[in-house]
């Protein structure tokens, strides 16, 4: 994200378990969110995290982010292995389902 702009709200999506499946999925998630949210937000990758920053609308609905994450998992046939959970006020984590072994993620 550009440091010259003042971002009112930044959502953090921790994607460590998503990268266990395929590292390419982080790029796909960034592209998917850019398509869905449009130019309202700036989306960047930071290691195994995806950051979504809003400069115009600080009241962006957090629920929309979760819906987009669920749609992404469904689109990539990962919904039966991974899920998006809220882990903080402005943070989501994509975790494996409790009954899924790590070896079945890949």
Residue given tokens 């398509």 in the structure block: 35
pLDDT digits (tens, 9 = 90+) for 40-69: 788 889 899 999 988 776 667 889 999 999
Query: Where does the chain have alpha helices with state H?
Result: 16-21, 24-37, 62-75
Give the pTM. Answer: 0.85
Q: In what order do the strands lie in the sheet with 41-46?
A: 41-46, 49-54, 9-14, 91-96, 82-88
75: CB partners within 8 A, 6+ apart: 32
DSSP string covering 70-83, please? HHHHHHTT-TTTEE
Structural domains in the chain?
9-97 (3.30.1360.210)
Residue 4 has pLDDT above 60, yes or no: no
**Which of the two residues, 95 and 102, has the higher pLDDT score?**
95
pLDDT digits (tens, 9 = 90+) for 70-83: 999 999 999 999 99
């Amino acid at each position: 994200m550009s440091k010259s702009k003042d971002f009112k709200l930044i959502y953090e999506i921790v994607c460590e378990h998503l990268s266990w499946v395929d590292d390419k999925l982080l790029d796909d998630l960034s592209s998917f969110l850019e398509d869905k949210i449009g130019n309202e937000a700036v989306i960047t990758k930071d290691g195994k995290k995806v950051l979504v920053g809003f400069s115009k609308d600080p009241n962006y609905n957090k629920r929309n982010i979760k819906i987009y994450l669920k749609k992404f998992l469904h689109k990539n046939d990962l919904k039966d292995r991974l899920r998006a959970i809220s882990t903080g006020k402005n943070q989501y984590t994509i975790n494996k389902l409790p009954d899924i072994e790590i070896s079945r993620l890949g």
